[in-house]
Amino acid sequence: MNTSIVGRHIELTEPIKDYINSSIEIFKKYNLDIISVNSIISQEEKNGRKAFTFEFTLNIAHIDTVVVKQKDKDLYAAIDIAVDRVSKVLRRHHDKITGHRATKLSEVASSEIADAIASELEKLDSEIFPVRLTSYKPIDIEEALEDLKVSDASFKVFYDKDDNMRVLYKSKEEGKFGLY
């Protein structure tokens, strides 16, 4: 994270720089990819009254730039209020990212639900077995029907001449066939 502190019409002392840098360290707790933080301090004087304007500009990866300006008669109060406002924006973005996260496969695999699914699949292992397609080239429906009549299989999966996957199956009625 790149940081810069700029003072306009004000002399930047070491305590001010240290205070700003310690305030910027707070932003790291949100675990966002903050590219740079620019801090601008300016001093204005109107009608004999001094006022400080403090501005944070944060460049964060994958979202727009966050700009917060705060004006106060006390410089440290302006910094604190600006830090609170930036923290609120960062917290909301962090909560949005972590709250809308999809469940990872590793989290599911370690849960009780995965154990229940595995036990159900083991029960079905004796009933379900993989069948390998023997031919991927397109064949006529009549040719698939002749192959099914000759074999002991109850169905045949094939591609027709229009390149559609089809299923031809033996019906419960003797001598009848169905086609999907």
CATH for 126-179 is 3.30.505.50
Fold of 2-99: Double Stranded RNA Binding Domain (3.30.160)
- Tell me the C-alpha distance between 28 and 178, whole Å: 65
8 — phi, psi (to 5°)? Answer: -115, 120
**Which tokens go with 55?**
């501005």
Which residue bears the tokens 């460049």?
A: 59
Instruction: Give the pLDDT confidence score for residue 103 in this predicted structure.
Output: 64
pLDDT of residue 131: 64
**pLDDT for the residue 19:** 95
pLDDT confidence of residue 180: 83
User: Would you give per-residue pLDDT tens digits along the chain (180 residues)?
Assistant: 899 999 998 999 999 999 999 999 999 898 888 999 999 999 998 888 889 999 999 999 888 899 999 999 999 999 999 999 999 999 998 888 877 666 666 665 566 676 777 777 777 766 766 666 665 678 888 888 898 888 888 888 888 888 788 898 888 888 788 888
Q: For residues 25, 27, 31 and 36, what is the CA-based torsion angle, rounded to 10 degrees?
A: -90
Looking at residue 40, its pLDDT comes to: 96
CA distances from 149 to 102, 135, 144, 153, 159 (A): 49, 17, 9, 9, 18
* Residue 64: predicted pLDDT: 82
Q: What is the pLDDT of residue 84?
A: 95
Give kind and range of the element (H or E) at residue 116. helix 112-124
Q: Where are the domains of the chain?
A: 2-99, 126-179
What is the rounded CA–CA span in Å between residue 66 and residue 60? 8
* Predicted structure pTM score: 0.55
Contact (CB, 8 A) for 148 and 139: no
